[in-house]
Structure formats: structure tokens, C-alpha cells
Structure 1
């Protein structure tokens, strides 16, 4: 310990001894929003730094998990379905058909996915409101069953029976009883008013952005070089699918550490496998349809 730290410690101990007659609760009160950093000499010099670091971390707004989920849904579908379609249309060896067909599918798919997300979020909101109304009616009509529901919430925590009884009595008389039951008994989070629109826009944009990636190479080739563009499209999508799978997995499990990196690599390879199977299936179907059309043509029948 340095000389300066020793002097500060002695002065701090002297202040405690001089004010010991004061109420300890009043003495150690700190202003709201500030940390008692003067105690770092007693608790350790790193304690104040840790608390300030945690406060800085709390100041950052955490990304909504539902928003991330909607983006993943849109991107995952957009990176597989349009890619499979463009890969299948490439067998026709007409770049214009691939571009126009891909753009039509992108626009229609984005609108369909967005509407699906909007209707799903609206249904979730209506379900929440209906459950909330039923819960409010139950708290008024059946107070005994409501008390049992409150007790069931605290049952897994192995609390003393007297404490559970006090908590049940207090919560039963609280005006926030319906909200408590919705959150802890029904485990239904309250949806925001803009949830439906946000969900629709996020899914639609994710689908369009993810599906536009395999179309990019077709804008830079000739009208009869669709198969050449398909090679670049496949290479682009392999990289994009791997990065998407890696990022999606590491976003949940973490970015650092050998185990998280290994999970990210596995997630990326899984996305590449899923996209490859979808594209291969689409190409096989288009080839099968071409063979059926050629075998059933009038010239073949005449021969």
C-alpha cells in the first residue's frame, strides 16, 4: 500500500470515529445515481471501477429480442427461397427470366412475409388483451382461486409459508394484481402498440435484403450467361449463408471463446447445408419439368 493510500485510509477511519454517534443509516446514505466510491479503500481499489463499468453497460439500450427474432426469420427465408428459385431458373439459361422472376418473387415474398408478421403480432396482441380481461374478471369473481394462483407463483422458490401468506395477502389487495398474474402466472409480456408494424417491416426488409443477394451477379452478365452468373451467385450465397449462420449462432451463445466460435462455425455450416439443399431441390425440379415438357411436346409425339 502506498503512502498516499495509507493517509487516505487513516483520514477515512478518523471521519468514521468522529461521526459514529450519528445514525449509521443516515451516515452512509449516498445521493441517488452515485456510487460510494470512497469505500474503495476498504472494499478494494477495483470495486468502484467495476461498479462504474456496470453502470456504463446499463446505459446502453439492449436490442429487443423480438426484433432480432423477426430479422432472423426474414433473412433466413430470404436467403434460401429466392436463392433456390434463381438457381432453378438459371437452368433455362435466360438471364432476363432469372432477374424478372427473382424480383417478382422477392417483392411478393416480402409483402407476404410482412403481412404474415403483422397479422401474427395483431393476433398476439388480441390474445393478450383477451387474457387480461379474463384475469381481471377472475380476480373480482373468484378471490380464493386468485390467491391460489399467487401462491403457485412463489411455490417453486421454497419460501417460508408465513412469507408466502403475507405476500399473497398484500398482492391480492394491490391494484397491480392483474399485471402481476399476466407476467408471472400466464407469463405473457405486454406487447407494445407499434409491435405489429415493427414486426411487419423488419421481416419484410430482412426477406428482401436476404433474397436480393443471389440476384446481384445476374445484373452484370449477358442475357444468355445465366449459368455463368449462377456460379458467382452460388459462391456469394455460400459466404452469405455461412456468415449469417455464424452471426445468428454467436449472437445467442456469445462471440468470444473457442467453444462459441466452434458453435458459430457449426451454425454457419448448417445454414450452408440448408441453402444448398433448397437450391439443389429447386434445380432438380426445374430440370424434371423441362424433361417432362420436352417429352410431351407435339413434335415428339408425331415422331
Structure 2
């Protein structure tokens, strides 16, 4: 394997790994928040932890399917968009090759290359239509070919992560009779987990990790408190 092949393979693995981590964090953070709020609301309205567990499991199943489907559709949309743009680029290098060559020159003009070099590179790329189109996809449109299995992988990763996240706030209710006791232990465990996942989620999205972690934790706490208060004082 050549150095360039090794670099591309490493780059592709890095992108796939980043996608996987993003899907895990999205699934688990939402899985923590929604079932936590539901369990908190039910804790203020019912007298049996069994009811909280039953409703919580039902929500986790429904939520994981919905989240997984959302991930699948997002992955399919990305793949369809790439294929649409790829078809358009192939069409344009056939119909208006001089305009496409000028777009190649424009890319390298931004890097300060001389006009002679711009022309030489554009002429050389034009000899291989596939490489020419690939260059335009990457440098003009900033699009890389998505993993063909991305949609399915994303659906499974987000859905399963939602299930894993959802069971964390629900777990204490399996071991206590009183929903209020379950809520107390669930709150401690869930808020810690929300802080951790908020931290990593913020790092992935380029936000300040500590403030982002507190933000995610406070959102989860506010949702649970609102649900508990509404259920407690309206039922």
C-alpha cells in the first residue's frame, strides 16, 4: 500500500470513528434526558415504581425507534445529496468543460499559485474525468463520498445508544418501591451521566466542554423538574 493510500485509509477511518462517536453521544444524551423527564413526571403522579418502569420501557422502545429512524433518514439524505451533486458535476464537465476548468484555476488562485501553474493543473486534471470530478466534489463543493452503509450504521448506533442511555435513569426504579426514592437515586445518576455526555458532546461540536456539560445537565434537570411539578400538582 502506497503512502497516499495509507493516508486516505487512515483519514477514512478517522471520519468513520468520528461519525460513530457523534451518533453514540446523540443517542445517549437524548436517551438520558427524555426517559429521565418522563420518569420524574410519573414519580409525581403515581404511587408504584412498577408503573414508572413500564411506562419508561415503552418510551425507550418508541424513542429508540424514532431516533434510529431519524439517523437513517439523515444518512440517506446525505448519500442522496452526494449522488445528486456527483451526477451534476459529471454533466457539467461534459457540457461546459472550460467553465469547470476555470473553477479549478480559481481554487488554486486562492492559494496564490501562478497562472501558468493553474493552467497546467487544470489541463492535467481534465485528462481524467473521474479525478477531475472528484477534485470538484472535494474542493469546490466540500463533499466527500459518504460510507454507503452510513445510514444503517447510524440508525443502529443512535437507536442502541438511546436504549443504553434510557435505562440509566430508569434502573433505580427496579429496586425501590417508592417512586420518590427511585427519583432521588435516578436524579443523582442521571445528572452525573448528563454532565459527562454533555462534556463530550460539547467537545465534538467545538463548544467549551465544561460550560456545555453544565448546560446539558441543567436542561435535563429542568425538564425533569418541570415534568415532576406538573404531574405532582395537576394530577
Pick from 133, 136, 148 the counterpart of residue 193 of structure 1.
148
Pick from 255, 260, 265 the counterpart of residue 210 of structure 2.
265
Partners of 2:231 and 2:81 in 1: CA distance: 42
Partners of 1:193 and 1:64 in 2: CA distance: 15
DSSP-derived class of the 1:64 partner: helix
Partner of 2:172: 217
Deviation at 1:233, TM superposition (A): 0.4
Partners of 1:155 and 1:212 in 2: CA distance: 55
TM-score (norm 2): 0.87
Partners of 1:157 and 1:215 in 2: CA distance: 55
Deviation at 1:151, TM superposition (A): 1.9
Partners of 2:109 and 2:192 in 1: CA distance: 50
C-alpha change, 1:273 and 1:119, in structure 2 (3 Å) is same
| Deviation >3 Å, runs of 4+ | 247-253
Cα deviation per residue 1:106-158 (whole Å; 9 max; x = unaligned)? 00000111111111211211111111111101100111211122122223211
**Does residue 235 of structure 2 align to residue 281 of structure 1?**
no
Partners of 1:289 and 1:208 in 2: CA distance: 30
Q: Is the 8 A contact 2:109 2:115 kept in 1?
A: no
TM-score (norm 1): 0.69
Pick from 50, 66, 81 the counterpart of residue 112 of structure 1.
66
DSSP-derived class of the 1:157 partner: coil
Q: Which has the higher contact order (CA 8 A, sep 6+)?
A: 2
Aligned-CA RMSD value: 2.3
Partner of 1:72: 25
Pick from 122, 125, 128 the counterpart of residue 79 of structure 2.
125
Partner of 2:56: 102
User: How many residue pairs align between the two structures?
Assistant: 225
Give structure 1 stretches of 5+ with no counterpart: 1-31, 34-54, 254-259, 291-303
Deviation at 1:183, TM superposition (A): 1.2
Partner of 1:38: none
Deviation at 1:289, TM superposition (A): 3.9
DSSP-derived class of the 2:44 partner: helix
